[in-house]
Structure 1
Amino acid sequence: MANHKSALKRHRQSLKRRDRNRAAKTQIKNKVKAVRLAVEQKDKEQAVVALRDAVSSLDKAAGKKTVHWRNASRRIGRLQQAVNKLD
């Protein structure tokens, strides 16, 4: 464990960020899963609503550097492709 005041603060901050990042990643996984489930069931309306939620979460996470922006962009693109094929 760190002894310096600044190192202790840094440790506290990293723990807070870890919790926030974990929560964000779990949320992303659940929302992406919802989109995929709607696509499997061929439910266009539900897929579009779920996609909107997933895109929002992915963009927010990319903005906060929880996931890499290219990773988020790739996931969004693939989900959008899957939803667009549902017609």
Structure 2
Amino acid sequence: MKNKYSKWLLVVVICMGVAIGGYWNYSSIAIGGTSDNGMWKANYKKNSDETVGGWIGHLQQKSGGKVKIKEVTFIDNGKIVVEH
């Protein structure tokens, strides 16, 4: 009898762990998108480490060719926020 209940408890604990992990992963504040020509993919995510603060950005090249980046511009609601 004890063995039957321990199996169900284990299943419930695993399901709760998966649910909490999924919620934590997908509930974070993030902005993402792809360039108009499909060459670049960007992800901008709020940093979960409160001691560091701010946001973390990732830029990934989707095409296989070699490129040289000349400028990076962050635009928020049509207004340039940062330009490098």
Instruction: Give the TM-score range, shorter chain.
Output: 0.3 to 0.5
TM-score norm. by structure 2 comes to 0.40
Max Rg structure: 2
Task: Name the structure where helix makes up a greater proportion of residues.
Answer: 1
Higher relative contact order (CA 8 A, sep 6+): 1
